[in-house]
């Protein structure tokens, strides 16, 4: 079996993908910002299980970070990421520079309305435009049959699904389960920022989601009451800030008046200088996580 290829240019990526296609392969794409962890590797694994030629993209996309966000200090570990990709069985890694992705004179962006109006949207102005734009570009560059994204970024996944539907992008979007540490903390590259004390307090996110599920499965039908339960769990861990603690419609991401079917419980909480997100879909009739 051929070793893993590394491409730094769009042209080299297209050439490698074209060769795989000529050999009869379907193409799977796993877009990432690097600092790879078990969550990312589960996406590579899903793409492999589907039998695709697996293209991992690693690009810390500047346009999805706000001016006061963590672009400069976002963890970068190219050598470690490449080792992990190889071990996980990726076929091609696309590692473009900022200039390759955004040459001078670039003026086009992709904006997905409505789904970006709640949850992380208002807290991170411009973030989802940056995500939608770079994912559009990556899908145009790789032209995969399937692209894999984690459900930990639930709103991102919803935005990307809407975007490919609206733009008729010929790709199947696959959402994969959130991977958690044994103690429940959702895997995130940003977990690396946490001090040991913050890391411990950050367990409040997954605990709040468990409390939300217990309340809903136990019969609570008032979203505000569930949000209050979640907020109490989070506040007990002395967060530095709470961006939102919300129970919303899992399709539209809009607030709901009563819980009458599956809902999305989601939250964004700060510990120190680190913003963490997590979510769970809860069915009031109580089937599974
Ligand atoms: O989820 C991420 O890592 C990023 O938002 C993505 C989808 C790779 C776009 O930069």
pLDDT digits 0-9 by tens, 252-266: 999 999 999 999 999
Q: What is the largest CA-CA distance in the chain?
A: 57
Element (H, E) at 270: strand 263-271
* pLDDT the model gives residue 1: 46
By alpha-carbon position, which residue is closest to atom 2 of ligand 1? Answer: 32
Taking CA atoms, 40 is separated from 114, 232, 234, 262, 289, in Å, by 28, 31, 26, 26, 20
Residue of 288 and 268 predicted with greater confidence: 268
Looking from the CA of residue 60, the nearest atom of ligand 1 is 10
Residue 47: pLDDT above 60?
yes
Catalytic annotation on 127? no
Lining residues, ligand 1, CB within 6 Å = 31-33, 61, 64, 131, 134-135, 153, 156
Residue 239 CA to ligand 1 center (angstroms) comes to 25
Residue 193: pLDDT above 90?
yes
Looking from the CA of residue 160, the nearest atom of ligand 1 is 7
Residue 289 CA to ligand 1 center (angstroms) comes to 24
Most informative mutation of 156, 171, 173 for ligand 1 (most atoms within 8 A of CB): 156
Residue 143 CA to ligand 1 center (angstroms) comes to 17
Residue 80 CA to ligand 1 center (angstroms) comes to 18
Residue 210 CA to ligand 1 center (angstroms) comes to 26
By alpha-carbon position, which residue is closest to atom 3 of ligand 1? Answer: 32
Q: What distance in Å separates the CA atoms of residue 35 and residue 81, rounded to the nearest whole number? A: 6
Q: Is 279 helix (H, G, I), strand (E, B) or coil?
A: strand
Which backbone phi and psi does 11 adopt, to 5 degrees?
A: -60, -45
Q: What distance in Å separates the CA atoms of residue 201 and residue 220, rounded to the nearest whole number? A: 26
- Token readout for 217 is 């499965």
By alpha-carbon position, which residue is closest to atom 9 of ligand 1? Answer: 131
Mean pLDDT of 127-156: 98
What b/e readout covers 249-261, taking b as 16+ CB neighbours within 10 angstroms?
Answer: ebeebeebeebee
* pLDDT the model gives residue 288: 55
Residue 9: pLDDT above 60?
yes
Is residue 285 very low, low, confident or very high in pLDDT (cuts 50, 70, 90)?
confident
Residue 146 β-bridge partners: 28, 172
Cα first-last separation, the chain = 38
Mean pLDDT of 198-210: 98
| Closest-CA residue to 123 (of 150, 152, 149, 155) | 155
State the Cα torsion 141-146-151-157 to the nearest 10°: 50
By alpha-carbon position, which residue is closest to atom 6 of ligand 1? Answer: 32
Average pLDDT over all residues of the chain: 97
Q: What distance in Å separates the CA atoms of residue 8 and residue 17, rounded to the nearest whole number? A: 13
Most informative mutation of 58, 135, 136, 150 for ligand 1 (most atoms within 8 A of CB): 135
Query: What share of the chain has pLDDT > 90, as a percent?
Result: 98
Looking from the CA of residue 153, the nearest atom of ligand 1 is 1
Which backbone phi and psi does 95 adopt, to 5 degrees?
A: -125, 75
Whether residue 134 contacts residue 98, with contact meaning beta carbons closer than 8 Å, is answered with no
Residue 287: pLDDT above 70?
no
Mean pLDDT of 29-40: 98
Whether residue 137 contacts residue 110, with contact meaning beta carbons closer than 8 Å, is answered with no
pLDDT per residue over 51-66, tens digit each? 999 999 999 999 999 9
What residues contact residue 14 under an 8 Å CB cut-off, 6+ apart? 141
Mean pLDDT of 206-210: 98
pLDDT per residue over 73-106, tens digit each? 999 999 999 999 999 999 999 999 999 999 999 9
Looking from the CA of residue 33, the nearest atom of ligand 1 is 3
Residue 2: pLDDT above 90?
no
Active-site choice (37, 40, 68, 127) = 40
pLDDT per residue over 234-246, tens digit each? 999 999 999 999 9
Residue 30 CA to ligand 1 center (angstroms) comes to 9
Neighbours of 236 (CB within 10 A): 12
Most informative mutation of 33, 142, 171, 279 for ligand 1 (most atoms within 8 A of CB): 33
HSE-up (13 A, CA, CB side) for residue 87: 12
């Amino acid at each position: 079996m051929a070793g893993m290829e590394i491409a730094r240019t769009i042209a080299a990526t297209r050439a490698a993908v074209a060769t795989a296609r000529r050999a009869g392969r379907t193409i799977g794409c796993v877009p990432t910002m690097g600092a790879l962890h078990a969550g990312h590797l589960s996406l590579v694994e899903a793409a492999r299980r589907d039998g695709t030629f697996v293209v991992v993209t690693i690009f810390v996309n500047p346009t999805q970070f706000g001016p006061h966000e963590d672009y400069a200090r976002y963890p970068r570990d190219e050598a470690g990421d490449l080792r992990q990709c190889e071990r996980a069985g990726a076929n091609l890694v696309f590692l473009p520079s900022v200039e390759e992705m955004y040459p001078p004179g670039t003026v086009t962006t992709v904006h997905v309305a409505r789904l970006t109006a709640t949850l992380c949207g208002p807290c991170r102005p411009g973030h989802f435009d940056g995500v939608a734009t770079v994912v559009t570009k990556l899908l145009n560059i790789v032209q995969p049959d399937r692209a894999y994204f984690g459900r930990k970024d639930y709103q991102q996944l919803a935005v990307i699904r809407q975007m490919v539907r609206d733009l008729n992008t010929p790709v199947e979007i696959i959402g994969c389960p959130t991977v958690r540490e044994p103690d429940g903390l959702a895997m995130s590259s940003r977990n690396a920022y946490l001090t040991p004390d913050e890391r411990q307090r950050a367990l409040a996110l997954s605990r709040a989601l468990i409390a939300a599920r217990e309340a809903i499965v136990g019969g609570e039908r008032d979203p505000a009451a569930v949000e209050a339960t979640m907020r109490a769990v989070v506040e007990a861990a002395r967060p530095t800030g709470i961006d939102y603690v919300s129970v919303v419609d899992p399709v539209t991401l809009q607030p709901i008046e009563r819980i009458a079917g599956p809902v999305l419980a989601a939250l964004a909480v700060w510990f120190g200088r680190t913003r963490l997100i997590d979510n769970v879909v809860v069915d009031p009739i109580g089937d599974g996580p």
